[in-house]
Homo-oligomer: A and B are copies of this chain.
Amino acid sequence: MTSSPERGSVRVDLNISLDGFATTTDQTPENPMGADWQRLVDAYASTRTFRARVLGDTSGEGTTGVDDRYAAAYFEDVGAEVMGAGMFGLHDFPDDPDWRGWWGDEPPFHCPVFVLTHTPRDSIEMAGGTTFHFVSEPPAAALERAHAAAGGRDVRVGGGITVVRDFLLAGLVDRLHVAIAPILLGRGIRLWDDLRGLENDYRVTVESAPSQVTHVTFRRDH
Contact = CB atoms under 8 A, between A and B. Distances in A.
Interface of A: 18-20, 180, 182-187, 190, 192-199, 204-208, 212-214, 216
A19 B197 CA distance: 11
A208 B212 contact: no
B214 A206 contact: yes
Nearest to A194: B186
Contacts of A205: 182, 212
The majority secondary structure among interface residues of chain A is loop
B197 A184 contact: yes
A116 to B, nearest CB: 25
Q: How many copies altogether?
A: 2
Contacts of A212: 204-206
Contacts of A199: 18, 182-184
Nearest to A178: B18
A194 B187 CA distance: 9
A64 B207 CA distance: 18
A182 B216 contact: yes
Given A18-B216, A19-B20, A19-B192, A184 B208 contact: no
